[in-house]
Amino acid sequence: MRGAQYALALLGTRSRGDCRSLFERSGPDPRIPGLSHLSFCPEAPTSTETPLLDLFDKVKEFTTVDDLVRAGIYPYFTPIEDSEGTVVEIHGRRLLMLGSNNYLGVTHEPTVVEAGIAATKRYGSGCTGSRFLNGTLALHEELEQRLAKFLKKESALVFTTGYQTNLGVISALVGRRDAIFTDRENHASIMDGCRLSYGEIHKFRHNDMADLEAKLQRHSAGIREGRAPGGKLIVVDGVYSMLGDLAPLPEIVRLAKRYGARVLVDDAHSIGVFGPTGAGTAEHFGLEKEVDLVLGTFSKSLGSVGGYVAGDADVIDYIKHLARSMIFSAALPAPSVAAVCAALDIVEQQPERRQQLHANAEFLRRAFIDMGFQVGPGKSPVIPLIIGSREATFHFWKELFAAGVFTNPVTAPAVPEGMDLLRCSVMATHTREQLERVVEIVGEVAKKLRFVA
């Protein structure tokens, strides 16, 4: 789907350090002025025949949404009127929810809901200020201490959203002489964080360790030839949100050690899901000490909103004082923080939920494979039905929606061209009866549309 393009100018200035390691700063660089003005027409035209460009001209050319609406297959911004977790109500109809990231099913758990209510009564509905000034609550610091302990890190920091976490962490750490090595399939928040930094950006092919090493080698060769040395950061998703596959962390850690890079893992889809205690991808591979920074969001397994980063105490303190997306944003409201604390109790005390989640995912994945679908290489609760055509994907979504199953259609650029898919995701709280009904409906619709025999 072709979307409108946006230009973002980061205002203000900040200091950058010359460093041997990404985390070792030895002094500020000269101040770098921000962009304060963007214009299509900086000077008056010399001829009356030269047309002036209007900022909103691109809006008139953006007809994709109207085209899909007219075709009756526009799938986005569907308002949910009521929710029971695994079942939602839309336009007065009840649908089985197969498109949520509520992996452990905690959003409607009474202890989680009551924790949010109690925090609202104590602290009010919002913080009305930045963490940097009046917005830090004792509740924020309690959650940060719990997260650090849970993730086996020295310290943690809470942000208002997961998106802001990536923007703030990456742009705070990566300076002009530094380099980022990022998987091409990383989440948009990682890519935007890279763009907001002043570092060199090197994109490697998805989960392709040979390509990553080749780029690390070329960067090292450039330093030997006279390029100013700087730190290196390898950034990956622990679990990729569209195909549900895991990053090959053991090989990434090996390459990081060999080339002197730091490793940041975004565990948005991993926390609560992978690892013996649910601590995420690094724990799953037994690499908690080798991964330098772990970050993620509270909006999936932890059933709320917000984000976090965890790592060495001095690094977290550095981020705390330089991450613009945190310093200049209102703090996460108390009810959301309290809900996360209660959800973390469930992750720690109810490992059977994680076991049920994986059992449900395996049941549905196997059923889809038996139908003849390509479901990708993942073993996570994210199960893609790879269709390959945008129009066919939208029609499949529409028919499933009409039959009572809510899924998420995903097309380029969120996935590569020709990889258009329906993103399905299961919860620990889905019953076997519900999943069997999903399989029945998907099978009937797929045969109707001739996707399967």
Q: Which of 202, 219, 284, 300 is catalytic?
A: 300
Dihedral-angle region of residue 232 (phi above 0 means left; psi in -120 to 50 means alpha; beta otherwise)? beta
Mean pLDDT for the chain overall: 89
- pLDDT score for 417: 87
Comparing CA positions, the residue from 381, 362, 186 lying closest to residue 273 is 381
- 140, 153, 219, 269: which is the annotated catalytic residue? 269
How far apart CA 435 and CA 137 sit, in angstroms, is: 41
First to last CA, the chain: 29
Asked whether 137 and 330 are in contact (CB, 8 A), the reply is no
Listed ranges 15-19, 225-229, 350-354; the one with the highest mean pLDDT = 350-354
| pLDDT tens string 134-164 | 999 999 999 999 999 999 999 999 999 999 9
Question: What pLDDT does 104 receive?
Answer: 98
Amino acid at 155: S
Q: Which residues contact 256 (CB under 8 A, 6 or more apart)?
A: 234, 262, 263, 290
Alpha helices in 309-426 (DSSP H): 313-322, 324-327, 334-349, 351-371, 390-403
Q: What is the pLDDT of residue 32?
A: 31
Is the pLDDT at 34 greater than 50, yes or no? no
For the chain, percent of residues with pLDDT exceeding 70: 88
Catalytic: which of 100, 171, 197, 241? 241
pLDDT attached to residue 282:
98
Residue 121 host element (H or E): helix 110-123
d(CA 263, CA 253): 7
Q: How confident is the model at residue 40 (pLDDT cuts 50, 70, 90)?
A: very low
**Is 90 exceeded by the pLDDT of residue 38?**
no
Quote the CA–CA distance of 240 and 268 in Å, as a whole number.
9
Most confident residue range from 22-31, 37-46, 151-160:
151-160
Average of per-residue pLDDT across 289-293: 97
pLDDT of 222: 77
For residue 341, the model assigns a pLDDT of: 98
3-class secondary-structure state, position 374: strand
Mean per-residue pLDDT, 262-286 = 98
Asked if 170 contacts 197 with a C-beta cutoff of 8 angstroms, the reply is: yes
Catalogue all structural domains in the chain, each as residue range(s) with its CATH number.
67-97+351-448 (3.90.1150.10), 110-349 (3.40.640.10)
Of 63-67, 342-346, 398-402, the one with minimum mean pLDDT is 63-67
3-state secondary structure of 366: helix
Facing residues of 28 across strands? 17
Q: Write the Ramachandran bin of 124: left for phi over 0, alpha for psi from -120 to 50, otherwise beta.
A: left
Average pLDDT over residues 249-273: 98
The CA distance from 369 to 367, in Å, is 5
Least confident of 19-23, 271-275, 287-291, 434-438: 19-23
Structure tokens at 402: 């009409």
pLDDT-derived band at 1 (thresholds 50, 70, 90) equals very low
> φ, ψ for residue 167 (rounded to 5)?
-60, -50
* pLDDT at residue 301, as a whole number: 97
Give the SS3 label for residue 96: strand
pLDDT at 219: 92
CA atoms within 13 A on the CB side of 221: 6
Q: Which residues contact 39 (CB under 8 A, 6 or more apart)?
A: none
Query: According to the model, what pLDDT value does residue 53 have?
Result: 87
pLDDT in tens, 303-334: 999 999 999 999 999 999 999 999 999 999 99
What six digits make up the tokens of 426?
């299961």
- Quickly tell me which residue has 């008056």 as its tokens: 44
Higher confidence at residue 43 or residue 109? 109
CA distance 52 to 394: 38
Q: How confident is the model at residue 20 (pLDDT cuts 50, 70, 90)?
A: very low
| CA distances to 71, 81, 112, 426 from 421, in Å | 19, 26, 33, 16
**Residue 286 corresponds to which amino acid?**
G
Catalytic status, residue 300: yes
CA 157 to CA 326: how far, in whole Å? 10
382: part of which helix (H) or strand (E)?
strand 382-386
pLDDT, average across residues 263-273: 98
Confidence tier at 3 by pLDDT (50, 70, 90)? very low
Q: Report, as an integer, the average pLDDT of 185-207.
A: 96
pLDDT tens, position by position, 358-413: 999 999 999 999 999 999 888 999 999 999 999 999 999 999 999 999 999 999 88
Three-state secondary structure call for residue 190: helix
Q: With pLDDT > 90 as the criterion, what percentage of the chain qualifies?
A: 82
For residue 51, what are the contacts with CB-CB under 8 A and spacing of at least 6? Answer: none
52-77: average pLDDT = 91
Residue with the larger pLDDT of the pair 36 and 425: 425
pLDDT at 29: 37
Residue 323 contacts residue 161 (beta carbons within 8 Å): no
The pLDDT of residue 18 is above 60: no
210-233 pLDDT, tens digit each: 999 999 999 988 766 667 779 999
Instruction: Identify the sign of the CA torsion 402, 405, 406, 412.
Output: negative
Residues 6+ apart with CB under 8 A from 207: 183, 185, 245, 247, 248
What tens digit of pLDDT does each residue of 81-128 get?
999 999 999 999 999 999 999 999 999 999 999 999 999 999 999 999
Tokens 């109207």, residue?
66
Per the DSSP assignment, residues forming a β-bridge with 424 are 383
CA 148 to CA 310: how far, in whole Å?
6
Tell me the two tokens of residue 315. 């690094």
Greatest Cα pair distance in the chain: 73
Is the CB of residue 274 less than 8 Å from the CB of residue 238?
yes
Residue 224: the pLDDT is: 65
> What is the arithmetic mean of pLDDT over 32-57?
54
Confidence of residue 10 (pLDDT cuts 50, 70, 90): very low
Over the Cα atoms of the chain, what is R_g? 23
